[in-house]
Structure 1
C-alpha cells in the first residue's frame, strides 16, 4: 500500500502494556501509527523496535493537556491511563485527569478530525459486583471515595462523556470494557495478582494472596484481547462491550497454578484484603460472541507459559525490585 493510502491511527498510552501491543497490531495491518505517551507508567522499551519504521511516529505528550496531531487522522484509541493499584494509588490526581481531561481533549480531536474513537474502559467500573458474571447492563457497585475510586470513577466518567459525544455530536465512538489481561510487557511489580505471584516465585518468596483467596478473577491473554479490540473498532456497535476470558478461577487456585508452573515449592500466605477488593470478576461475553464473532482462543496454561518465560528473561534487578507501599495505602 502506498504511504499516502495508509489510514492514520493515534494510540495513546502507546508505551504501555496494551498500547504497545496495539501499536504492533496496527503496524501489522499497514496503518500509519502515531504513538503518544507521557511515560509516567509506560516504557519506551516496549515500542523501541518500531522507531525505525516509516509508518510509526512517537509523541512524548500528556493527553491531559491540549492534544494536536497534524494531518489526517482516521482512528483514535485512548489507552493512556494508570491501570494498576501501585500506579493509581501513587498518582491519583493524574489518574483522574487522564480519564476526564484527557478523554475530553481526545474526543475534541476526534470531532475536529472526523475520526472514530475507541476508549479503553475496564471491568473496574463494576466495582465489587453483586452479580456474576458481569453483563454490560450491570451498573456496578463502586465506592466513589475509596482508594480505588480514583480509577473506577475516572473510567465511569470516561464512558459517560464518550457516549455524550456520540449521542450529541454524532461522533463515531466505541467503548471496550477490559477484564484482567496478561502477557509479555506487563510490569513485574505493578501490584496486579499475576505479575505479583510470578515475581514472588522468581525471587523464592512466599506467594501473598489477600484474604483467604476465595475471590475470583478471569485472565485473558493479551493477543486475544487485542483481537477483540480490533474487531470492536471496526464494528458498528457503539455501546460498551466486555472483552475478557470467562474462565473464572479463585486466587488460591491461581496461586497453586503459578507454583506448579514455576516448579517452586513456595507456600501461599494470606494478607488482609485491601479496601473494596472485588470478590468476583468474570465477564459475560455474550455480546462479543454474537456481534464480533469473538471469544478467547489462548488457554491459560499456554498463555502463562509464554508470560513466565518473558518475566524470567528480565534483568535481575527488575526481578528483585518490589514495592508494597500501594498495599499499605489501600488498607
Structure 2
C-alpha cells in the first residue's frame, strides 16, 4: 500500500505522520519500511515520519516533537512561533540558546519545546525539550495545527525564563503591542498559576503594561525617572488627532500641558522621521504645550532627567519638586544640580 490513504493526515500535519496514525490509515509496518527504503518517507524520530528525504522544516520538526510525545503540545518559543507572534525579544531568547550551544562546539538547531501532562514521564529525543504541566488539557489547544499552549501561558513561560528584566518586559510588551493579547489577560493567566519562576517580577511588569508602558524604554522612564523621583502621574499613549492624522503621545502631563516624547531609537532613521518629530513638537507649541524629547542617554541618567522634567513641570504650574531616590541622587531639595 502507498501513501494515498494517508494523504489527508499528511496534508493536515505539514507532511508529518506518526506510526499510530499510519496504521489507522491502513498501512502496516511492512508498508512503512518499504516507503522508507524508497525514500517516500524519512524518519525524524522513532515512530514519526516526514514525506520527503530532505531537511525537515521548522514546522515539520514541531509536528514531529508533538507526535512523538502525543498527547502533547508546543510550548515556550515554539508555541509563540506557532501562534504567529513576531517578537524581537523572542528572537533574542532563542539566539542566546543557540549561542550557548555553538560555544560548546555543537552544530545546533533551535530545540522544539513541548509540554505534556504532569503525570507522565517521558524521554525526549535529540532536539526536543519537554516540560510537564498540571491541568494540561485546560492550558493547551489540541485542536490547533500544530497543537500548542494557549498564547498567554506560553508568553508567561518565556518571560519568566528570560535572562534579564528588560527582555522579560519586551516579550510581554511586544505581544500587547501586536494586539494578540492584553495585560489584563496575562494578569489573569498568571494569577491562575500556582507557581512560576520570577512571578514576583512579572506581576508588577504586567501592571506597568496595563498602565500603558509599551516598551522597555518607556518602563525605564516610568520607574526610574517618574515614580522614583515623585513626579506627577502622567497619561500614556494618548491619542491626538493632528492635521497629518492620528498620532500617540508617549507621556502627557495633561494638567501642566507638558508632553514627554520617548525616543528609544539607537540610530537615526533619516530626515523624514526627523522632520515628522519636529513638526509634532511645533504643533504642540502652537497648542500652548511644551514638549521634551528624551533618548536613551537621558533615561540612563534618571536622576538628572527627573530634574529637567521637574523644572519644566514647575514652569507650567506644578507646585511640587522632584524627590531624592537615594544618597547620591541629584534630585530633591538642596541637591546639587548638574551644570
Assess same fold via TM > 0.5.
Answer: no
Larger % of helix: which? 2
More contact order relative to length (CA 8 Å, sep ≥ 6):
1
Q: TM-score, normalised by structure 1?
A: 0.28
Q: TM-score, normalised by structure 2?
A: 0.28
